[in-house]
Amino acid sequence: MSNLGDLLQSADWKTEKHVPVIEGPEEVKKGEVFKVEVSVGKQIPHPNTTEHHIRFIEVYFLAAGERFPYQLARFELGAHGESVQGPNTSTIFSEPGVSVAFKTEKSGTIMAIAYCNIHGLWKAQKEVQVK
C-alpha cells in the first residue's frame, strides 16, 4: 500500500502541464496581507474537458518552525463542459487559476496541490521570507 505523500507528483511547470504554478512575492512585511495566485497549465495548457480536467486546487502555508501546514484555501473547479445534453456540450468551463490573500508573521513555505481526474495529484512549493 502506498502512502499519500508517495503519490504526490512534481516536475518543472514549464515542461509539465499538471504542476501548480505559485506566483507571489518572495519577501513580505511582517503581518501585511499579500496575494498568492496558483494556476495549472501556465506554460502548456491543461485540457479542460468533461473527460480530462483539474478537479481541485488546495493551498497551504507551513510556517517556519511549525510541524503542520495551515490550509489557506481549497478551490473546487466544477464546470468542465458537461451539461444535461451530455459531455462537452456546454460552453461553461472553470479555469484552473485561483488566488488567496493572507498574512503571516513567520517566514515559511507556500504549498499547492492540484488534482487531475486522470493523472492524479501534483504539488509545488515556494518559499516566502518575512522581513
pLDDT of residue 2: 74
How far, in Å, CA of 94 to CA of 41, rounded?
13
Out of 52, 103, 105, 127, the active site residue is: 52
CATH of 4-130, one of 1.10.260.40, 3.40.50.150, 2.60.40.730, 3.30.9.10: 2.60.40.730
116 catalytic? Reply is: yes
So where are the chain's domains? 4-130
Extract the C-alpha cell encoding 35: 496575494
Instruction: For 51-108, write each residue's pLDDT tens digit.
Output: 999 999 999 999 999 999 999 999 999 999 999 999 999 999 999 999 999 999 999 9
pTM for the structure as a whole:
0.92
Give 7-58 pLDDT, tens digit per residue.
Answer: 787 887 888 899 999 999 999 999 999 999 999 999 999 999 999 999 999 9
Q: Is 53 a catalytic residue?
A: no
Distance CA 76, CA 9 (A): 20
The pLDDT-based confidence of 1 (bands split at 50, 70, 90) is low
